[in-house]
Amino acid sequence: MSKLTIVLTTYNRPNFLKLAIDAILIQTFTDFDLVILDNGSDDRTSSVIKLFNDSRITSLKTEKNDFNFVNKAFEYTKNDYLMITHDDDIMEKNLLQSHIKKLESNKKIGLISCCLNLIDDEGKLLNKIRPRIKKDKTWNKHEFLKEFLFRGDIIPCPATIFRSSLIIKNKLKYNFEVGPAHDLFLIFKINLLDTYIYLSKDPMYRYRIHNTQHSNINRISLEYNIRPHAIKLFKNYNLNKIAKKYSQASLGLILQILINDYFVGKMKFKDFRNQLNKLINNKIKINIYTLYWFVFGILRGLKNLTFNSFK
């Protein structure tokens, strides 16, 4: 029987943490170890962990908050599978069983994830499923990299389970030099390997949207930070064509974020203009990728503007 290690990372979110642990412990798949990595939280987090009397739970705490502490998660590979998940999200009770069943049925799958149901700060469903896909998707070597050019990041990382042997063989972990998009960068690295990435269309993970998330604080900086590292990575694997295409597609992706943020009032015109100048300085060009993201940004901005006006 295959076994799983779940690593739950947490930092000063005691109320959310309790909900996350509750959801893990009622999973229909029960053969797992739960390791809680406390990244320098205050005593409230320890108090929450002590509420649970379950032999599957262990915890490890560092005295000060440090991104690199999260990489301890990749040391927990004694079991067949590894999951690294978040303290502010909630798993549906069949998530683990569904993922493990698929991994067991196809040994070529190196990681599996699923779509998200977005929830607000209070846990209310927002009636938004991300990403929008009509059927399950599978990417072979290099295929996700190519689709990223027109889709962006559509692998929900906190809902992902890795095959431990893949982690061990390739010494995989997060590279925090790339910034908050370190999980996306890891997906890039995995898609350079001879393994499958699998995404289920079923939304089995409730992803909480709130203002303290790194991915929500400054999406533009996030994209700029990862960009040179991704280009260098692709070139190191002699994927010069992908590197060239990504260099423009990533600028287009930033452009659509700018357009949307300006439409919905998150960005003033002065800041919008300054950011456009930054794109020009980064040598953005008119091509299929930038045109695609330009149109996408306008449509997305108009949709969000209309939605907000009816709130």
**Amino acid of residue 243:** A
- Whose structure tokens read 């794109």? 279
Cβ(7)–Cβ(37) under 8 Å? yes
DSSP one-letter code for 80 = S
Domains and CATH numbers, the chain: 4-208 (3.90.550.10), 218-309 (no CATH)
Structure tokens at 307: 């939605």
Number of H-type helices and E-type strands within the chain: 11, 10
Whole-angstrom Cα distance, residue 296 to residue 290?
10
pLDDT of residue 214: 52
Cβ(26)–Cβ(90) under 8 Å? no
pLDDT of residue 104: 97
Mean of pLDDT values over 244-259: 96
Q: Does the structure show a pLDDT above 80 at 307?
A: no
Query: Which of 14, 18, 62 lies closest to 37 in space, CA to CA?
Result: 62
Residues 6+ apart with CB under 8 A from 63: 40
Residues 6+ apart with CB under 8 A from 185: 174, 175, 178, 226, 229, 230, 233
Residues 6+ apart with CB under 8 A from 285: 248
Give per-residue pLDDT as tens, 88-115.
Answer: 999 999 999 999 999 999 999 999 999 9
Ranking 84-98, 248-262, 297-311 by mean pLDDT, the lowest is 297-311
Cβ(58)–Cβ(35) under 8 Å? yes
The DSSP bridge partners found for residue 163 are 81
Residue by residue, what is the 3-state secondary structure of 256-277? HHHHHHHHCCCCCHHHHHHHHH
Q: Does the structure show a pLDDT above 50 at 4?
A: yes
pLDDT of residue 218: 81
- Whose structure tokens read 């229909």? 28
DSSP one-letter code for 69 = G
Give per-residue pLDDT as tens, 75-94.
Answer: 999 999 999 999 999 999 99
Backbone angles phi, psi at 154, to 5 degrees: -120, 15
Categorize the per-residue pLDDT at 217 as very low, low, confident or very high, splitting at 50, 70 and 90.
Answer: very low
The DSSP bridge partners found for residue 38 are 10, 61
Whole-angstrom Cα distance, residue 114 to residue 158?
10
Helix (H/G/I), strand (E/B), else coil: 208: strand
Cβ density class 228-244: b for 16+ within 10 Å, e for less: ebbbebbeeeebeebbe
Query: Which of 309, 301, 131, 123 lies closest to 210 in space, CA to CA?
Result: 123
Residues 6+ apart with CB under 8 A from 237: 192
Cβ(237)–Cβ(140) under 8 Å? no
Categorize the per-residue pLDDT at 216 as very low, low, confident or very high, splitting at 50, 70 and 90.
Answer: very low
Give per-residue pLDDT as tens, 121-175.
Answer: 999 999 999 999 999 999 999 999 999 999 998 999 999 999 999 999 999 999 9
